[in-house]
Structure 1
Amino acid sequence: MFRAGGVRRVQMANQYAETGRRWWCGDSAHGYTRTQMCKGRLGKRSALTRDQCTVPVGDAVVDAAAFNVFPDAMVDELLRQLPGVEVDAEGNATAMGESMTKLRVNGKDFFTNDVKEFISKLPAYIVDKIQVIDDFGDQANFTGIKEGKPQKMLNIVTKPGLNKGTFGSVGINSGTNDQYGLQGNGNIWRDTRQIGFSSRYNHADNGAGSSDNAGGGANYRNTFGKTSLSFNYNLNDNRSANESLSNTETVNTIGTIYDNIFRRANNESNMQSLNTSLQTTTKKMFLNVGANFSYSNNSTQSVSASNKTGIIQQDFFNGISGLSSSPVATLNISMSRKFAKPGKGFSLNLSSSLSGNNSDQNIDSRTFYYDAATGTLAKDSLLNRALGTDNRNLNTSISSVYSMVLGMRPDSARRNLSFNYRATFGSSNSNQLTNVIDAAGISRYVDSLSTDVRARNFSNGIGITYGYNAKKLSYSLGLNATGQVQNGSYFKGTLKRRVQAFIYSPVINMSYKIGPTSSLGAYYNGTNVPPTAYQLQPVRNVQNLQNTVIGNPDLKPSFSHNMSVSYNKMQKESGRSLMLSLMGGATQNQIVMNVVLLKDTLNSLKQETRFLNVNGTYSVRGNYSYNIPINKNKYNISFRGGVGFANNISYADNVKNYNRGINVSQSLATGMFTKTLQLNASAGYSYSTNSFSLLQFASRDIQTWNFGLNGSVRFWKGTGLSVMVTKQLNSGYVLSNTSPLLISANIGRGFFKNKLLSLNLSANDLLNQGNNLARSINGNTVTDVRTNQITRIFTAGLSLNLQKFGNGRKMAIEQ
């Protein structure tokens, strides 16, 4: 069953006391120690093993036995039945629209902590409970001071004795479109000691050309006493070809520019990364040191053809070839210390990152100009450029918090006061050398098209926060004040700018347990974003000859305010659940574009983009999810929906343009779940409209109806058949083929004991109607894009699967 409770990890090893084979947990999160017994699977008082010990306090907890899944199901199939949780076809999991980015098992780090990677590898039969947690980080759990926006974390609580295992697979696949591949992975899990590896190679022809994807990784994690150590190495090598067709509509005060663009590109990339972490936790001390390194190489060759009509009539052909490399190194140190007096503590955080980007590009551009009255070719121009770019960035931040207890109340509530200091430093050096190559192949350096930008950002901030922590109600209220200084140097130091700003922001964080099965939460988060070198440099960037970009050295940093309120309720007897969320945001000194039309040297028109700060951008959105289980979750009905409003600002020809957008979505889904048959049917509607204050810009509306039916059945010695049918009815797009009917199917069979060997045959998009269509709006431009890819694919796969958990016996799902 689902209940509004959660887990508070009890990590202090010296607070565990073993009595026979029973474990008792001490809880010191409120500044005192009280001993209590962990609750068992059905809420009854029972003794569990140490790895099972969790204390419910305020997050979503789901009993896995309340849901019907196939005996051979994986965790991702279990998650798809959870209220408010969605898992897409790629394995990305979200809870109430927010991504779940971190995974733990029994409250402990699990291999790479990657949700997407492991929910498809862990079997559902080992799961006792699923917990969706608003996670503020290990340091916040240690100190009890929670500020900022939490992340959605997935915690899997295993059944007793199943906190260890060995699992992995080796598979091959082949299919149409010259498709073939080989994958393998292996994992050794001994509670806190974990060793894993993975490798893959896939080849296919996606319709635009060949695509190769190869990679591998290895990770190690172990705990030595009170210290945990982890390493994670990854290597990725990709070669891909792609084609796309886009239609853009750009509005200015004198008219509209229509642009149809065809683009074809071949990309090659290689990336290596190493992530390391060392963490020590004692009763009085918390220390975490993390270091991450990555290096990537990229090679790109692309050609594009653009046909402009409207107030500009041009044809534009562009060819780009380039090489680039990007090294990145980061270091993070977090430390907290608790003093002898309960509730008194000090925390220090240091973060530093160093990154660079070096690239060389050759750009060949040819422009054809047409007479506006007759449409005949008037003139053309050819320009060949060589660009060399060197970017280097250093960002460092330090923060400290001192907290003290104001007193304990008789109801065991703790009141505390904390003081914080924050300082950041950012350094950005950007150099670009531009050479123009004439018809004879002679290269000439152009100083006016080259850049030399040096930007420095400093900020200092102080804050005070009052915290209250009780059994039902916890909140933090405070105020932060931040001063910012930005120094810029341009044209080799001949032009300098200094910009200052001072910002106040509140601290709001609250959680309230209304009853045993309902809770309310709210938080506020403020984020400072300095302008980039690209936005600051007062030099013409002519990589796109049809839209020259000139930065603004007087730009101020922007500051985003974000607020969220959530409410969860579960009816214990019926199992019905209601989840509500309301999110809003506003930005001070938002950096926006000002696109103006200018005469070019051939007496035609071209666009020029500049940047400026504005106020008045904001957004608000509300979501809900209501789930009705029937007959002990054998059937269910769920309603989901949301309404959002956004007000954005841009400029066209120095005239302010308001873009007000409304988005409405509503869906109804029903399901039937048994041990041999699972069916899901859904219907959804979404409506999106954008209205603009510029008179030339008509309202842009998109309506989409989605209908889906998918089912899975197990028959004849574990053979499985799955069919998925979806129908979309889209209106409002400029590009065609907007209402596809997609039909896919899969049949699989397991062989030998525990399905050691499995064979799968799959067919994707039998009618070949996939369209890969999307719309985006940026400033005064609306863009529809369709990626040209083959979507009708037939595949056969054979895999060898190894699984052994606990004592090696596969446990059936509990009755």
Structure 2
Amino acid sequence: MHKPLLLLLLLVLLCSPGAIAQYRIAGTLRDTVNLSPAQYTSVALLRASDSVLQAYTRADEQGRFTLQTDTAGAYLLLVVHPSFLTYRDRVTVQQQETPLGAIDLMSRKQLLQEVVITDSRSIVIKGDTVEYTADSFKTRVYDNVDELLKKLPGLEVGRDGKIKAYGEVVKKMLVDGEEFFSDDPAIVAQTLRASSVDKVQVFDKKSDQAAFTGIDDGERIKTINLKLKDNAKRGYFGKVSAGGGIPSYWENQAMINAFRGKRKIAAYGLMSNTSTNGLGWDDQRKYGGGGEMNFDEESENFYVMGDGSSYDGEGLPRSWTGGAHYSNKWLGDSLSFSGNYKYGKQITEAESRSVTRYILPDTQYTNTVNSANTTISQKHNINTTTEYQLDSTASLKLTLNGGYNKRQTGSRYASKAESLEGGLINDNTRLQQSENEEKSLLATLLFRKKFRKKGRTFSANFKGQFNENAGTGLLQSRINLYALNTADSLDQRKSNNNRALTGNLKLTYSEPLSKIASLELNYSLSLNNNNADNQTRDRDQGTDVINPYFSSHYVFNVTGNQGGAFLRFNFKKINLAFGGNIADTRFRQDDLMYDTSYTYHYLNFFPRATFTFRKSQQTSLRFSYAGRTQQPTMEQLQPLRNNTDPLNIAIGNPDLKQAFKHDFQLSYNDYRVMTGTSKYLSVDFLFTQNAISQQQNVDVSGRRNYRYVNVDGNFTGWMYGYFGFKKIAGIRPGLDINANYDRSHNFINGLANRNDNQQYGPGFSLYYEKDTTITLSYNFNPRYNLNQSSIRKDIRTEYWTFEQRFDATLTLPRGIQLGTNISWNVRQRLDPAERNNNVFLWNAYISKSMLKDRSLVAKCYVNDILDRNIGYNRTTNAEYIAENTYNTLRRYVLFSLTWNFTKTGGQAPDTGAGMIEISE
């Protein structure tokens, strides 16, 4: 363990920016007309050679300002204030202190005859939009957009491609204001070239309804819009990369973008066995994959939970992904069309060993499972959006989304349960095979109409959705129950055919009541039809005999009527809205196998309220409350026994009631462009009435039966805070805070049990960059975990985890670049016998850019240099402690060659960017 630490310390010392000298430039700004200090004036320092922004600040109440830079040389000083003419001067920095003395500013009122026109602004603030001029932030010639975003003050790009702006996650990324690959930020950021971008706009996007009606509903989504350069819209660019390595690793990809005016064509493809499994392919959000069907009464729609087929580091993956995009406009932009297609195939082979210690009211025991799994999944998805502007007041929009998913799995399990004293309780060997196909189609037709009176609107939205899931499977199992001195075996064939057809029509009308008040009325009708046929057949001496104990056939129908009203008040800095919907929902479940029926009727009120206070353009406080129901799923209601895992059998409960959730959210956001500082805080508290929980019974042989029941007293509270500080000696520090407290209730062997699970921890980060030559980052995230149950107060599961990561890149002359990243995860032991629960990873690469335009890049990458990577995961709560080890990617060497090509698109001429402008 000492060698990696020495390597890390040596690398930090060699690259440490702390040894770089700091130079200070100070002065005082004065108003020559009023003979008073020029308070809060913007002051920026630009490098004279290329006008790249080096530092910026605001003058204080006395007109004083101080700027810092880490390099001596020639600079440009810009002083900007709406009431004064822009002041420009050349400053030579040679000493540690460069006093500028008093700087007199001339009032615009005194020189109305002079007009100053400039378009060389690096950061512009217009309302709640922050706009960055891309060329003001230096990137390498063929960097993608994600590398550009890393250099913009207030923006972060994580290892997983997740993008944050001022502490908030960016959920949409647009290109010239339109969707591009379904506005997935990861795909856009890794597909487009940074040199093709003119402006990067960051703003809080209003909801579609608010944008249409002009009535602010307080809803916001953090969004980035990339405005392309004119020459980038008249050509094409992309890249092709091929890589192979030792032992038997490969990684190949190709991308192309061809833009011409309003027409955009793009495509990408990728194949690898190095876990590079897709540019933001979001399996859980985009596809169901044969998961569990749920009903959301407030939206009156069914949704399908994902099947967890995305790669999470467990096993050895092979993946192929690709996609294509086309969009265009015609008829004077009144008719627009965009379409996307995505394909993904993944094969994962995983081997794992898990050890779980179960904590029961009167005993404890451990269960050890060894498993081998092979999963093959394929996914196709196509979506199109066509919009026609009928006239200046009305529009029609049609959206189609279709998907086809196929998943095959084969698994072998061998488990053994033992008492803490080593006595054998049970063992089980199990073979499972399954194959599932899912087909889905969603169609949405939206009509919108604006009337002569501003704010008076009408919209009609129809949604129709079809889902079909068909699957077959095989289950072979052998169980020995030593406590009961019995044994049992299973040889079964399983099939499932589930279909869902839903339709929803929603009508919305908005009416302005005054300059500050507005009313919104809505009504919706929904119809849902679901058919679930699940069969289990015993293969007895070559014959298939249906097993009614583990089979079912249900028809599940839902009819919903819902109406509501929302009253909104919009003041200059305050937005207030409150109201709710009343829903009448009727469920009917027919058991076709036993010719019985269950009916449910719910009359619910969904209250909602929001309060937003916008102190300034970049400072806001928001509070919201929403009440909603959680309906039991069909699997929880229907009395079907599922023996897929013979030691854990679920039993349905047709008497289960709906749960009602109360959700309170508070958020605060403050970002200062001039100082580069930001504060973001989000707090959420959710408590549930009639929460859906479990009633568990574990017998002496270790078999677990569980039935869903309603409980009270469940709540969850969490908090996330992020603080970005101004640079200190060229280093940008950041601090985040995470806290989570979860309380849940259930029943174990007839006893009521309360579970308390807590997690707390700060996070600390440092980031340093010097142009495109050096970048350094360090992250440290400790976490404290505590779990305890009321039935075993004598047992407290508490431990610390520590995660650290260090990244560094160094660009040398002649196109050579070095890079490395080190991650070190330390987990406190819960048992002296634990081994291999700490992971130390060290990766590095060297690359060489060739040809005159540096468009050809050769690269050598080494993964897990020390061959120390292990697959490890720990899951704890008050009832069990589970530790899982599994096979994963270890040391390999990959050689790759990448060609970046472009025609007409690319770098724009230098505009002398560097000024910061604030527009009220």
TM over 0.5: yes
**Whole-angstrom CA distance in 1 between matches of 2:202 and 2:659:** 32
**2:788 is paired with a residue of what secondary structure?**
strand
Corresponding position of 2:340: 232
CA contact (8 A) 1:252 1:596 kept: no
Equivalent position of 1:318 in the other structure: 430
Does residue 178 in structure 1 map to residue 279 in structure 2? Answer: no
TM-score by length of 1: 0.85
Deviation at 1:325, TM superposition (A): 0.9
Change (3 A) 1:277 1:572: closer
2:448 paired residue among 336, 339, 344: 336
Q: Relative to structure 2, which stretch is displaced further, 647-656 or 794-803?
A: 647-656
Q: Which residue does the alignment assign to 2:894?
A: 795
**1:10 maps to which residue?**
none
Residues 403-418 of structure 1 aligned to structure 2 (within 5 Å)? 403-408=510-515, 414-418=516-520
How many angstroms does 1:254 deviate by? 3.8
Counterpart of 1:307 in structure 2 is: 416
Aligned twin of 1:91:
161
Higher alpha-carbon deviation: 802-811 or 616-625:
802-811
- Amino acid across the alignment from 2:765: A
Tell me which residue corresponds to 2:145: 75
Contact persistence 1:170–1:184 (CA under 8 A): yes
Match of 2:646 in 1: 545
Matching residue of 1:613: 710
Counterpart mapping for 1:10-89 below 5 A: 56-58=126-128, 73-80=143-150, 85-89=155-159
Q: Does 1:278 align with 2:377?
A: no
Q: CA deviation at 1:291?
A: 0.9
8 Å CA contact retained: 1:650, 1:780: no
**2:798 paired residue among 701, 710, 718:** 701
Correspondence for 1:720:
817
Q: Are 1:497 and 1:554, in contact at CA under 8 Å, matched by a contact in 2?
A: no
C-alpha separation in 2, matches of 1:97 and 1:614: 36
CA contact (8 A) 1:258 1:310 kept: yes
Please state how far the C-alpha of 1:691 moved relative to its aligned partner: 2.0
User: Residue 406 of structure 2: which of 294, 297, 313 is its match?
Assistant: 297
Residue 265 of structure 1 deviates from its aligned partner by: 1.0
The CA deviation string for residues 690-717 of structure 1, in whole angstroms up to 9 with x for no partner, is 2222227823224112232221111122
The answer as to 2:613 corresponding to 1:505 is no
188-197 or 123-132: which moved more? 123-132
Structure 1 distance, partners of 2:759, 2:512, is: 46
Distance in structure 2 (CA, Å) of the matches to 1:200 and 1:462:
47
| Partner residue, 2:506 | 399
Displacement, 1:341? 1.6
Distance in 2 of aligned mates of 1:577 and 1:89: 21
| 1:759 partnered with 2:858 | yes
In the aligned structure 2, how far is the partner of 1:380 from the partner of 1:596? 20
SS in 1 for 2:866: coil
After TM superposition, the score normalised by the length of structure 2 is 0.76
- Distance in 1 of aligned mates of 2:791 and 2:733: 44
Task: Tell me whether 1:669 sits opposite 2:771 in the alignment.
Answer: no
Q: Cα deviations across residues 258-279 of structure 1 (Å, max 9, x unaligned)?
A: 2111211112222222111112
Shift of residue 329, structure 1, vs aligned partner: 1.0
1:354 corresponds in structure 2 to 466
Q: 1:339 to 1:432 in 2, by over 3 A?
A: same
Q: 1:801 to 1:101 in 2, by over 3 A?
A: same
Q: Cα gap change, 1:649/1:85 in structure 2, threshold over 3 Å: closer, same or farther?
A: farther
Contact 2:802-2:827 at 8 Å conserved across structures: yes
Q: 1:509 to 1:55 in 2, by over 3 A?
A: farther
* Counterparts of residues 185-200 of structure 1 (less than 5 Å): 185-190=255-260, 192-200=262-270
After TM superposition, the structure 1 stretch with the greater mean CA deviation from structure 2, 358-367 or 140-149, is 140-149
Name 1:656's counterpart in structure 2: 752
Q: CA deviation at 1:737?
A: 1.6
Q: Report if aligned partners of 2:196, 2:906 keep a CA contact under 8 Å in 1.
A: no
Matches within 5 A, 1:355-754: 355-371=467-483, 378-408=485-515, 414-438=516-540, 440-490=541-591, 492=593, 494-571=595-672, 573-598=674-699, 604-630=701-727, 634-675=730-771, 676-695=773-792, 698-732=795-829, 736-754=835-853
Identity, % of aligned positions: 23
Displacement of 1:608: 0.8
- Which AA in structure 2 matches 1:138? D
- The CA deviation string for residues 86-108 of structure 1, in whole angstroms up to 9 with x for no partner, is 43323233457764332112423
Q: What residue is the counterpart of 1:11 in the other structure?
A: none
Post-superposition offset of 1:677: 1.0
Larger Rg: 2
Give the CA deviation at 1:779.
8.5
**Tell me, what secondary structure is at the counterpart of 1:574?**
coil
Which amino acid is 2:534 matched to?
Q
Count of aligned pairs: 758
State whether residues 154 and 677 of structure 2, in contact with CA within 8 Å, keep that contact through their aligned partners in structure 1: no
CA RMSD of aligned residues (A): 3.4
Contact 1:348/1:398 (8 A) holds in 2: yes
Distance 2:166 2:492 in 1: 48
Amino acid at match of 2:415: S
- Secondary structure of residue in 2 paired with 1:76: helix
CA 160–790 in structure 1, closer or farther in 2 if over 3 Å, else same: closer
Aligned residue type for 2:435 = L
CA distance in 2, matches of 1:203, 1:672: 33
Q: CA deviation at 1:334?
A: 2.4
* Alpha-carbon distance in 2 for matches of 1:624, 1:805: 44
Task: Give the SS at the match of 1:539.
Answer: coil
Q: In the alignment, is the contact (CA less than 8 A) between 2:200 and 2:224 conserved in 1?
A: yes
Q: 1:121 aligns with which of 176, 188, 191?
A: 191
- Give distance in 2, aligned partners of 1:425 and 1:606: 40
Shift of 1:189: 2.4
**Mapped partners of 1:116, 1:506: distance in 2:** 35
1:794 positional shift: 1.5
Q: Is the 8 A contact 1:745 1:764 kept in 2?
A: yes
Aligned amino acid, residue 475 of structure 1: L
Could you tell which deviates more after superposition, 461-470 or 780-789?
780-789
**Per-residue CA distance 1:290-313 (angstroms, 9 max, x = gap):** 111111222211101111123981
Match of 1:220 among 301, 304, 326: 326
What does the per-residue CA deviation read over 1:767-789, in whole Å, with 9 as the maximum and x for residues that have no partner? 22223333345784443333311
SS at match of 1:639: strand
Contact kept in structure 2, 1:297 and 1:324, CA below 8 Å: yes
C-alpha deviation, 1:173, in angstroms: 0.7
Does the C-alpha gap of structure 1 residues 783 and 136 become closer, same or farther in structure 2, counting only changes over 3 Å?
Answer: farther
The 3 A distance-change label for structure 1 pair 807 and 678 is closer
Deviation of 1:404 after TM superposition, in Å, equals: 0.6
Cα 1:521–1:46, aligned 2, differ >3 Å: closer, same or farther?
Answer: farther
Following TM superposition, by how much is the alpha carbon of 1:61 offset from its aligned partner in structure 2, in angstroms?
5.7
Q: Secondary structure at the match of 2:212?
A: helix
Kept in 2, the 8 Å contact 1:69–1:674? The answer is no
Where 2:853 maps in the other structure, the secondary structure is helix
The answer to which of 221-230 and 728-737 deviates more is: 728-737
Q: Are residues 544 and 708 of structure 1, via their aligned partners in 2, closer, same or farther at CA, if it must alter by over 3 Å?
A: closer
Q: Which runs of 5+ in 1 are unaligned?
A: 4-39, 373-377, 409-413
- Structure 1 stretch displaced more, 462-471 or 756-765: 462-471
Q: Whole-Å Cα distance in 2 between the matches of residues 106 and 474 of structure 1?
A: 29
Change (3 A) 1:671 1:808: closer
